[in-house]
């Protein structure tokens, strides 16, 4: 189903204010509450809305250090990729894992307390991932811009 302008407005508001009440949302997008509710339910059912989450403050939770880790595997066979992907999901400090085109096979986003904590994560988890031939880590010095909102 194609999205219309009203659907896009709903998605835009919900991306930035996931806890907004249906009544407030309906008012903001100029719909009746019942029509707004039906549209949100349809957007959920059709998979446009994947989940509702709380975005946590990494600094408050003592995880202010972000590290991007490029990983090159020893091979590209399905078994190697599947084993790596299965195991990397189990690393609690990895927020994201992306299969890449280019020089690295995977790019991970890892959170840590500091460099010492990242060294622990590296020793305890990353160095033990199956099929890893090479790893390159880059520490973010400062987050300039961050959003979870997809343009609609």
Residues in the chain: 152
- Please enumerate in sequence order all residues whose Cβ is within 8 A of that of 133, keeping only pairs 6 or more positions apart, or say none: 72, 73, 74
pLDDT at 100 over 80: yes
- Please enumerate in sequence order all residues whose Cβ is within 8 A of that of 76, keeping only pairs 6 or more positions apart, or say none: 105
pLDDT in tens, 28-79: 999 999 999 999 999 999 999 999 999 999 999 999 999 999 999 999 999 9
Domains observed in the chain: 5-45 (1.10.10.10), 65-139 (3.30.70.920)
CA-closest candidate to residue 126, choices 116, 115, 136: 136
pLDDT at 108 over 80: yes
pTM of the model: 0.89
Kindly state the helix (H) or strand (E) to which residue 96 belongs, with its residue range: strand 94-99
pLDDT in tens, 2-27: 999 999 999 999 999 999 999 999 99
CA-closest candidate to residue 14, choices 28, 1, 4: 28
The reported pLDDT for the residue numbered 116 is 98
Residue 94's φ and ψ, nearest 5 degrees, are -85, 115
Kindly state the helix (H) or strand (E) to which residue 99 belongs, with its residue range: strand 94-99
CB contact at 8 A, 111 and 58: yes
The reported pLDDT for the residue numbered 1 is 76
The whole-number average pLDDT for the span 95-112 is 97
The whole-number average pLDDT for the span 76-101 is 97
């Amino acid at each position: 189903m194609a999205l219309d302008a009203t659907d896009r407005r709903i998605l835009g508001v919900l991306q930035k204010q996931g806890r907004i009440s249906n009544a407030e949302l309906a008012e903001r997008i100029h719909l009746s509450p019942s029509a707004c509710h039906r549209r949100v339910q349809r957007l959920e059912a059709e998979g446009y809305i994947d989940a509702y989450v709380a975005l946590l403050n990494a600094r408050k939770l003592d995880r202010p250090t972000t590290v991007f880790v490029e990983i090159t595997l020893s091979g590209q066979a399905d078994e190697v990729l599947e084993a790596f992907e299965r195991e990397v999901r189990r690393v609690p400090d990895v927020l994201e894992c992306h299969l890449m085109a280019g020089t690295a096979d995977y790019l991970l986003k890892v959170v840590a307390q500091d460099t010492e904590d990242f060294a622990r994560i590296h020793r305890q988890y990353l160095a033990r991932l199956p099929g890893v031939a090479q790893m390159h880590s880059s520490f973010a010095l400062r987050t300039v811009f961050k959003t979870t909102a997809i343009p609609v």
